[in-house]
Structure 1
Amino acid sequence: MARNYLLEETYAKALQAFTIWMKQSGYTEATKKEYLREVNDYLLSLDEMPVQQAGKMNVVSFLVSKQDTAGDKTRNRSLSAIRSFYAALIDFELASRNPALEVKKSKTEKNRNPVYLEEDDLEKALTYVDGRYRDRNITIFLLMGYCGLRVGEVHKINLSHFKKAKGTLEILGKGRKWNEIPLPELLIQYLSIVEEARIKPYSIKEDAFFVSQKGRRLSIRQIQKIASQTFDDFKLDHPHLTDLKLSCHKLRHSFATMLLNNQVDIRVVKELLGHASIETTMIYTHINDEQKRSAMTTIKVPLIAKL
């Protein structure tokens, strides 16, 4: 209670500005919730100091206080939240500088490859999609695994976004940026089936493409449960994948890897994934063990001495 009172009493205007700014910038609900939590903890560490007076030392002190219980990835997320917070304050003229920009991010492991499914395993996993609304669930799985959509993007799809005659799907991605994705013919057919069988929503204003049995837009959590159940069932029959941490986002990784393995130009992959920077796309240009072995077979070692 004391914590909430301190925040509301001292930093109410700053937090309100940050909330509005994130919404305007198109942040997902999950990101908004996480960033607000991080910023709340940061503000408590300021002990009622005005945010515009805080400097680099305050930011670093807060991050150091968390390092015993948080790794580099978590520290960087906290720093990103604070940077965004000050960016919002500057935008609304509540601060003149961003001290978090003066703090460097921690170096994380550069050689850790994204988790993904090989194309054959991805196809097998599809056969485990089940449930009362199987066609709908398969289509959702296909959009993430074969179009690379984020779970939040699938959640936001409206009927008006599916351009059947044109064969494309309009996607509202991060930063409220629109991206038009050309669809494979089979996926157009699946989307058409789902559109035809779509449950009539309770609200006449509801334009969601994927609707739950209660007549509401299918939530992000429901979509994640569909993927989670599918992966659990799939792993039972494929024990060699038991330790692989699969999720909706790993389907996106699988899509990106599939494109690059098929020699698709990385600039095209960037556009299809809706990345702002090609550096983000570069994480998918990993090389697997088989490719390494294949490369080494081209090397001819000379026989100098008798073995």
Structure 2
Amino acid sequence: MLQKSNWIQLFIQYLQMEKNCSIHTVRNYEGDLLHFTHFMEKLGVVCYTDVLSDHVKKYLTELFEKKYARKTVSRKISTLRSFYSFHQREERVKDNVFTFIHLPKSEHKLPNFLYEEEMNHLFEGLSGHRPIDQRDRALLELLYATGMRVSECSQLLIEHIDFSIGTVYLMGKGQKERYVPIGSYALDSIYTYIHNGRAQLFKKTKDSNQHLFLNYRGGRLSERSIRTIMQKRMDQTALQKKLRPHDIRHSFATHLLNNGADLRVVQELLGHEHLSTTQIYTHVTKERLRDVYKQHHPRA
């Protein structure tokens, strides 16, 4: 057996303590490492220091034969490169066998988003007055107004909303803090929800729960529940698109850039560490311009 429990655990601690990685990132790293470890064990490799380039080639062959997506293969190799780099730094291994492994080129897929009229159509479907209707309306308004991640939304407390200046405090990936403005539509919906719908949901629990979004039992609305609710609301519309809650974040960024927002400002609002991550949305706006041109220019 490979010394997986010790080496992987040390790397996980490094990700959590030094890199401040989110629980989801840590989980992905751990899953990738266990997958690699199990494959090495099948090859008879008994120690991470015994892994050779031939073993790595066999692992890559296995991934492609099992038809893993190129993005998934890239992530796994990146994980293993970081894993060996860490243990190389700690002088447990001499060489990083993944240093010269070339990652497959990523597929350049543009993010899905809704046009502004489609977002309006989605909001029109949230006009009920029940507590959960008010919650879902506030939820959608806030996601679209700020572009926050669903994971950030699930952790929000009431005190994180500042109605006086119209901002929300967010804790993003890697424990990075940021303040994002909230528009008037979202503020109005949140205010109504807090003083009406949320107050009614809160009566169903004995806990002193200060999270902004509650489930029907009065407990914190989990990340999974938010995704389920948003997916259900999207499915209820007549939009002929397959959408995910994260597409609201894509829509937020796309609409800002379409209306002339500076790319670096959008980067700050989204909480992206690198500008290159935000630049994908410039390709979306170019596609939008091309579509408009083809539809309306007489000699397109």
TM-score bracket, normalised by the shorter chain, equals 0.7 to 0.9
Deviation at 1:126, TM superposition (A): 1.9
What is the aligned partner in structure 1 of residue 74 from structure 2?
A: 76
Q: Does the residue aligned with 1:116 lie in a helix, a strand or coil?
A: coil
Provide closer, same or farther for how the CA distance between residues 278 and 95 of structure 1 changes in structure 2, counting only shifts above 3 A: same
The 5-angstrom pairing of residues 17-28 of structure 1 reads: 17-24=10-17, 25-28=19-22
TM-superposed deviation, 1:173: 0.7
The one-letter code matched in structure 2 to 1:34 is N
Distance in 1, matches of 2:32 and 2:176, equals 25
Letter in 2 for 1:44: H
1:203 aligned partner: 207
* 3-state DSSP of counterpart to 1:203: coil
Tell me how far apart the structure 2 counterparts of residues 56 and 160 of structure 1 sit (CA, whole Å). 53
Which residue in 2 is equivalent to 1:227? 230
* Cα distance in 2 between the residues matched to 1:73 and 1:138: 34
Contact 1:116/1:253 (8 A) holds in 2:
yes
Q: What is the deviation of 1:218?
A: 0.8
Residue 32 of structure 2 is aligned to residue 38 of structure 1? yes
- Which has the higher mean CA deviation after the structures are superposed, 41-50 or 133-142? 41-50
CA–CA distance in structure 2, aligned partners of residues 166 and 88 of structure 1: 44
Q: Which residue in the other structure is 2:254 paired with?
A: 257
C-alpha separation between the residues in 2 aligned to 1:139 and 1:96?
54
Shift of 1:176: 0.9
Q: 1:61 matched to which residue of 2?
A: 58
Q: Deviations over 1:243-293 (max 9, x none)?
A: x33101111111111011001010111111110111001111122255356
Note closer, same or farther for the CA distance 1:289–1:160 as it changes in structure 2 (3 Å cut). closer
SS at match of 1:285: helix
Q: Distance in 2 between matches of 1:97 and 1:162?
A: 49
Segment drifting more, 221-230 vs 183-192: 183-192
Shift of 1:90: 5.7
Question: Where in structure 2 are there 5+ consecutive unaligned residues?
Answer: none
Change (3 A) 1:64 1:166: same
Alpha-carbon distance change, 60 to 126 in structure 1, aligned in 2, over 3 angstroms: farther
**Unaligned runs of at least 5 residues, structure 1:** 1-5, 302-307
Please list, as runs of the form range in 1=range in 2, the aligned pairs for 1:1-307 lying within 5 A after superposition.
6=1, 10-24=3-17, 25-47=19-41, 48-54=45-51, 57-68=54-65, 69-86=67-84, 89=87, 98-110=96-108, 112-129=109-126, 132-197=131-196, 198=198, 199-200=201-202, 202-204=206-208, 206-234=209-237, 237-238=238-239, 241=240, 244-286=241-283, 287-288=286-287, 290-291=289-290, 294=293
Aligned 8 A contact 1:145 1:255 in 2: yes
Query: Alpha carbon RMSD of aligned pairs, Å?
Result: 2.9
Using the aligned pairs only, state the percent identity.
26
Question: Whole-Å Cα distance in 1 between the matches of residues 143 and 259 of structure 2?
Answer: 18
Report the more deviating stretch, 115-124 or 184-193.
Answer: 184-193
Return closer, same or farther for 1:82/1:166 CA change in 2, 3 Å cut-off: same
Q: How many residue pairs align between the two structures?
A: 286
Give the Cα–Cα distance (whole angstroms) in 2 for the partners of residues 182 and 217 of structure 1: 23
User: Contact 2:77–2:103 at 8 Å: present in 1 too?
Assistant: yes
- CA distance in 2 between counterparts of 1:82 and 1:159 reads 40
SS at structure 2 position matched to 1:102: coil
TM-score after normalising by structure 2: 0.83
- How has the CA–CA distance of structure 1 residues 194 and 101 changed in structure 2, closer, same or farther, with 3 Å as cutoff? farther
Question: 1: distance between equivalents of 2:230 and 2:90?
Answer: 40
**CA-CA distance at 1:92 after TM superposition:** 6.5
Given that 2:256 and 2:266 are in contact with CA atoms closer than 8 Å, whether structure 1 keeps it comes out as yes
